[in-house]
Every structure is written in structure tokens, then in C-alpha cells.
Amino acid sequence: MRFFVSILILFTSMLHSDSQELALHEAFREEFSDKKPTFFHYGSTGRKVGFKWKSGQPAQTEPESKVLSLKINPKDEAGPGKGPEFISKKFTHFGTYSTRLKVPDPRAIQPNVGAVVGYFTYHNDEEKGLSEVDFEWLLADPEVIYVGTWTGESGKLKRIGRTINLAKGIVYSTEFRDDHFMQREDLTGLQNLPEKIEAIEGFDASAQFHTYGFDWHSDRIRWWMLHPTTADTVVLWDYQGERGIPQHPSKYRINFWHTDNWSVETNPLSLEKPKKRFELEVDWMEYRPF
């Protein structure tokens, strides 16, 4: 009898541990109006300095709005973990993700800066591999947006991605990548919708706050933004394919970091270490599970 009781206690403990590890967020909206965010915690493997983040700060161009301020540290090394990053306290899964943010504009000071703003989900599971859905902006050209996913095991990662110039209405690429086999494949049909993007005249991710989001389903992912003038939903990519859609829970994140090996589509020289404390402003982040 004592043996069976011990087994039951052990089994219950294991279930509790798993549920704690994979505790999922319910719907939430983080307004960043207080000094300490409610649903996110700070993370960075770079230098520990206080100026890298502040919550509840008045926005530079909208003093009535309280925002999360993330500043890049010129002394940090290159890499996505080195810059300031906020990570959800619990896991998120299939659902609608959205944010309102304004990326920095370093061009007058440093046109060839190598710096990335990432808005994404990310979790690398030892058994299931990587689960990542992302938006990214390279500051050297804030007309360009990168969207996509990463899946697969470490060393055998796979990417579906689309690169768009919204100001010019150009889709530079929509492709599947398998880095392990050095494979690249242009995507077509239902994996390449919409095939064309209508230009948003004067679009500049650093000129004002914009609302961006993605709908992560088990069998499709739709990346979108709200038109800055009409507030209509602009579909950037509605991907429907058998490859590249993460299936397991992830953590919801925002970060800002220096890259020395990824230049923006329109400027191959944009790899310089940042010279100033350029500032990313995040008005809010929201998650609505399906």
C-alpha cells in the first residue's frame, strides 16, 4: 500500500511540475503604464545598466502616452540576447498577438548602424525544437519589415520568411530556408498570399507609432498591421503551408539588439556597432488566445 501511495505522490508531483513549467497566459494587454510591467519580466545577457529599460515613461512624440523604453547599449556585444528584452512570465500559444510601437531612427547620426528590433514569440524545447514567430525591423531602413518563423532542432533550423518594403510596395522575397542543407526555395500558391503588397505612401516605422500583429493558428499564420491613415487591416502575409508553423507553446517577447552579420535588404553596409543609445518605444502588447 505504501508503495502505491509513493507512486501516486510522485506522479502527482510530476504533473504539477509540468503544469507549472507550461503555465499558459490567459488573454492580457500590457499597457506599460507602471514602472514595473505586470505580465513581462526583463531579460538580457548583456551589460547590466539601468538605462536599458524603463516602463511608464512619457513617449517622446506622444507625452500623453506611457510607454516601455528600451535603449541599446553601445558597449554590448552583438547578439539577440545582449540587448534589452522583455519576456512573458508564462507561455503563450495559438492566438492573436498585437502591439503598438515606434522603432528608432538612427539614420541622421549613423546610417550604417547594425541594429534590430524584434517583436516575436520564442521558446527552444529540448525535445520539440524551436518555436518562433516574428516581426523584425533593421533600423538602417525602417521602410522594410521582416516576418516569418523558425522551427526545428538546434543546428537544423528551418525558416519561412517574407521581406517587404511597405513604402514602395515591394515583396523582396517569400521563401523557405533549411540552413542545415543550405536550401532555399521560393514559396508559391497558398504559401505566398497576398502575392503583391500595395504601397503605404510615406510609410516609415520610425516616424510614428504603428500597430502590428499576427494570428498564429495550428495550420496558418497571418501577419498584419493597421493602415496608419484608414486603420484598415493590411495583410502582410497569410501563410498556409505544411512546413514552418510552430506547434508548441512559446514565450511572448520584445527585444532590441546589435547585429554584425545581418544587413538590411537595401543597405549591405549596415553592420556597424551602435554609437548612441538609440531608443525603442513600446506603447502596449496584447495577447488573445484562440
Per-residue pLDDT tens for 166-210?
999 999 999 999 988 889 999 999 999 999 999 999 999 999 999
Q: Is residue 73 domain-resident? A: yes
Give me the tens of pLDDT residue by residue for the chain, a chain 290 residues long. 443 334 433 433 433 334 345 899 999 999 999 999 999 999 999 999 999 999 999 999 999 999 999 999 999 999 998 999 999 999 999 999 999 999 999 999 999 999 999 999 999 999 999 999 999 999 999 999 999 999 999 889 999 999 999 999 999 999 999 988 889 999 999 999 999 999 999 999 999 999 999 999 999 999 999 999 999 999 999 999 999 999 999 999 999 999 999 999 999 999 999 999 999 999 999 999 99
Confidence at residue 236, expressed as pLDDT on a 0 to 100 scale: 98
Number of structural domains, the chain? 1
Q: Is residue 142 domain-resident? A: yes
Distance of CA 236 to the CA centre of its chain: 15
Residue holding cell 524545447?
Answer: 125
Q: Is residue 54 domain-resident? A: yes
Q: Are 161 and 147 in contact (CB under 8 A)?
A: yes
Residue 65 sits in a domain of what CATH number? Answer: 2.60.120.200
Confidence at residue 21, expressed as pLDDT on a 0 to 100 scale: 59
Q: Is residue 13 domain-resident? A: no
Q: Is residue 17 domain-resident? A: no
3-state secondary structure 193-224: CCCCCCCCCCCCCCCCCEEEEEEECCCCEEEE
Give the span between the Cα atoms of 130 and 199, in whole angstroms: 33
Confidence at residue 22, expressed as pLDDT on a 0 to 100 scale: 80
Q: What is the extent of the structural domain holding 152? A: 31-289
Q: Is residue 4 domain-resident? A: no
Q: Is residue 189 domain-resident? A: yes
Q: Is residue 22 domain-resident? A: no
Confidence at residue 179, expressed as pLDDT on a 0 to 100 scale: 85
Residue holding cell 501516486?
Answer: 8
Give the span between the Cα atoms of 274 and 114, in whole angstroms: 7
